[in-house]
Amino acid sequence: MPARLDLFPRNAMSPPESDLGRLLATLKPVVHPGVYVFSSIPDALDLGGLDVVATMREPEGLTVVLEEGLARTRGLPIMFRAAWITLTVHSDLAAVGLTAAFSGALARAGISCNVMAGAYHDHVFVPVDRARDAMDVLFRLQREGRPDGGAS
């Protein structure tokens, strides 16, 4: 008999948050260990056994995000080396302003970011050499709880 898919795990998330002030106050960013890369591969390439973090289908090919070592082992082109930061607040997919607030704060610090939304959390990919700076910016935004970065 196939294993039962547990759609409602015992440690289920709290309801999603949509209030921008509460989202910012509870960002709780976490940086994942390792280096992640963006690569683009032909749609026809078999991903079997390739542990990807995220994908996005585009007319030019399939964008994949995965650990750098795996990409190098498979000979995939490296388009961007990144640190992967997850905002652990359970953000509502329909929330307004969260992406603008944290991407604006990062932009003001001169840090580029590539954002992917999951069903529960937002994921931010920043240049690997700016990970610590990005975490400082995100923690400051969380402390101040204001989308303008605390400017008066």
- 54 found inside a domain: yes
Extract the tokens encoding 36: 């992640």
Supply the CATH number for residue 127's domain: 3.30.2130.10
- 1 found inside a domain: no
72 pLDDT band, cuts 50/70/90, is very high
Extract the tokens encoding 142: 């969380």
Domain span at 101: 20-144
pLDDT for residue 4 is more than 50: no
- 10 found inside a domain: no
Global pTM value: 0.86
- 84 found inside a domain: yes
- 77 found inside a domain: yes
Number of domains in the chain: 1
Sequence-separated contacts (24+) of 131-134 with Cβ below 8 Å: 131/31, 131/83, 131/85, 133/109, 134/83, 134/85, 134/106, 134/109
For 49, counting Cβ atoms within 10 Å of its Cβ (0-12 exposed, 13-18 middle, 19+ buried), the class is exposed
pLDDT for residue 152 is more than 90: no
Instruction: Give the tens place of pLDDT for each residue, 24-46.
Output: 999 999 999 999 999 998 876 67
- 120 found inside a domain: yes
